[in-house]
């Protein structure tokens, strides 16, 4: 059966728009949004949550192979730098994320330096870089644990408080928006578990007695900083 083309605004006036759209009588509009990332896992996740109202493109798909500088001193700042870069150079509406671990005992380090913590801070913290493991995640974790140990942070069975934080910056229809997600917990002295990545083996979220690396992806993804920030973004975009 064919239907006459009805202007969306007219249809909306009569309150039928959602009905027509949901029943595939009106063609859905697709909005293109760039996610300033090439991380396949993050891209799949956001595409499956947003469904077919949004066409999500990666940096690669828009021909951007730049190493976008992340020189801000906050997660929001770095996310916004990436989103603005895409908007300015490629013209697309865009969102970008930045995440990391913050340990209160260390004035919120590793923070925005989470991915390159050992490289940047080992020397300052009095830790010999050559004595750290080769692999990046292990290197960063070991650097953090040694530094906490050197400062007696685990003395008398203490577990230093920490949180993972994600900020997403969105540039959309002329506005700039932020969505933050946090998961609180503590750091343990010995790594446990094998799933996940980064600092997962030494982070125990509040309400649990296992590390993210022991809890596995399903549990982690239901409570993680990233999941919390993404769900705020999705709620906003689906309005
Ligand atoms: P990104 O901004 O998501 O790329 O994260 C930057 C760095 O923060 C990563 O390289 C990890 O070291 C750390 N990080 C961020 N999220 C997590 C997480 O969920 N688990 C463990 N480490 C994380």
What tens digit of pLDDT does each residue of 206-228 get? 999 999 999 998 999 999 999 99
Is 4 a residue whose pLDDT tops 70? no
Task: Give how far Cα 23 sits from Cα of 7, 31, 51, 125, 185, Å.
Answer: 16, 19, 16, 61, 45
Q: How far is the CA of 29 from the centre of ligand 1 (A)?
A: 34
Catalytic residue among 44, 52, 97, 98: 98
Closest Cα to atom 10 of ligand 1: 115
Q: How far is the CA of 49 from the centre of ligand 1 (A)?
A: 21
What tens digit of pLDDT does each residue of 152-196 get? 999 999 999 999 999 999 999 999 999 999 999 999 999 999 999
pLDDT of residue 17: 53
* 128 included as an active-site residue: no
Q: What pTM was computed for the model? A: 0.87
Closest Cα to atom 7 of ligand 1: 115
Residues within a 6 A CB radius of ligand 1: 98-101, 114-115, 140, 164, 196-200, 212, 224
Q: Which of 99, 103, 212 to mutate to test the pocket of ligand 1 (most atoms within 8 A of CB)?
A: 99
Q: Please, is 119 exposed, middle or buried when counting C-beta atoms within 10 Å of its C-beta (0-12, 13-18, 19+)?
A: middle
- Range with the poorest average pLDDT among 15-29, 94-108, 155-169: 15-29
The mean per-residue pLDDT over the stretch 80-90 comes to 98
Q: Which helix (H) or strand (E) holds 90?
A: helix 75-90
**DSSP strand pairing (109-110 vs 94-103):** antiparallel
**Average pLDDT over the chain, rounded to an integer:** 90
């Amino acid at each position: 059966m064919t239907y006459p083309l009805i202007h969306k605004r007219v249809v909306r006036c009569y309150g039928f728009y959602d009905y027509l759209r949901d029943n595939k009588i009106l063609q859905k509009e697709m909005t293109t949004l760039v996610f300033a990332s090439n991380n396949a896992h993050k891209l799949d996740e956001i595409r499956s949550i947003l469904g077919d109202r949004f066409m999500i493109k990666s940096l690669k798909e828009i021909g951007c192979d730049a190493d976008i500088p992340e020189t801000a001193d906050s997660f929001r700042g770095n996310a916004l730098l990436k989103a603005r870069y895409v908007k300015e150079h490629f013209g697309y509406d865009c969102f970008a994320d930045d995440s990391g671990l913050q340990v209160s005992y260390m004035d919120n380090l590793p923070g925005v330096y989470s991915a390159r913590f050992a490289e940047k801070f080992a020397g300052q913290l009095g830790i010999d870089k050559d004595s750290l493991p080769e692999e990046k995640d292990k290197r960063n974790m070991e650097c953090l644990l040694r530094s906490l140990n050197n400062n007696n942070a685990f003395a008398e069975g203490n577990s230093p408080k920490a949180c993972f934080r994600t900020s997403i910056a969105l540039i959309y229809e002329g506005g700039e928006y932020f969505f933050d997600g946090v998961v609180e917990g503590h750091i343990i002295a010995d790594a446990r578990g094998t799933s996940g990545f980064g600092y997962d083996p030494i982070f125990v979220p509040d309400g649990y007695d296992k590390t993210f690396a022991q809890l596995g992806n399903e549990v982690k993804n239901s409570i993680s900083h990233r999941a919390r920030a993404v769900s705020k973004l999705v709620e906003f975009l689906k309005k």
